[in-house]
Structure 1
């Protein structure tokens, strides 16, 4: 499980770098085409929007994969004893996994299904919107895996015995 966890983090990290690099190139091309060439490219705004969707969701997934990498207010949790803190962290991981299942996997899967069934295509890139939105349930599944990893490995009683 640890090997899959590390591999998945590396793959997501590389994909984030790729998306961010493409986004930078896209935005630079938009500026060049608009102000130097004098005619704006039709696909750059749409690509930037889709890249930001993927960058945001994969970035949240990546941060969730890192130990305690999610945004949280831990003032009260930091005052707890190590045992209570570990139990609280496990509860938080279960809640995040539940959220990812209900909202991202089920809700996102419904979004992908609906847009695919309706045959919605993006106007400039001519890409099926079901593909663009597919990152929502995929990110949800990865977040669930990361939560289960943290529950069983990071915040388990065995992890803090030595």
Structure 2
């Protein structure tokens, strides 16, 4: 069930990332084109680019966690014995889960709640600034799911698939 949830979450994450990057590209091109065509940039394009870049950055962090492409220092741990590598991996998973839960979820939710309470509006877009803080807890949920799946995969050895297909003729 966890793997199924992860698959659906990854599809949603990838769709959101593709849409956000496409929006960012179109928005920046529109801002540059308006500057050259009309002599002045459309005022909301810069603000939209900033918000979209925040979303792309945080969702990209989550995608990196799923692919296990985040920064890591393997130079030292590669020299450990397999048992010590497993213990180190467990420690890293626990620290990562705690960090993401505390910073992304607790901290991110507090930022969103404060933004809702103060209800500031972005001047050019005329939307709440909640949209700038929302990527933190959203990406945190993705990261927590992916990290729990990675932890489970590292703790529970997965059965190896047999590369040779058995034929019954």
Q: Same fold (TM over 0.5)?
A: yes
| Distance change in 2, residues 1:160/1:89 (3 Å) | farther
Work out the CA distance in 1 between the residues paired with 2:69 and 2:91.
16
Distance 1:9 1:61 in 2: 9
Q: Is 1:34 equivalent to 2:35 in the alignment?
A: yes
State the structure with more CA Rg: 2
Shift of 1:51: 0.5
Q: Secondary structure at the match of 1:159?
A: coil
Q: What secondary structure does 1:138 align onto?
A: helix
Gaps of 5+ in 2: 162-169
Post-superposition shift, 1:62? Answer: 0.9
CA contact (8 A) 1:47 1:125 kept: yes
Distance 1:17 1:121 in 2: 26
1:4 equivalent to 2:11? Answer no
Q: Structure 1: how far apart are the matches of 2:98 and 2:110?
A: 17
In 2, the alpha carbon distance for the partners of 1:160 and 1:3 equals 17
Q: 1:32 to 1:161 in 2, by over 3 A?
A: closer
1:84 aligned onto 2:84: yes
1:161 is displaced (CA, Å) by: 8.0
Output the TM-score relative to the length of structure 1: 0.92
CA offset at residue 2 of structure 1? 0.9
Counterpart residue number, 2:138: 138
Deviates more, 1:49-58 or 1:34-43: 34-43
CA distance in 2, matches of 1:10, 1:86: 29
Normalising by the residue count of structure 2, what TM-score does the alignment of the two structures yield? 0.88
Unaligned runs of 5+ residues in structure 1 are: none
Tell me how large the CA RMSD over aligned residues is: 1.6
Q: Is the 8 A contact 2:51 2:131 kept in 1?
A: no
Q: Does 1:58 align with 2:52?
A: no
Aligned residues: 160
1:94 and 1:147 in contact (8 A); partners too: no
- Shift in Å, 1:11: 1.5
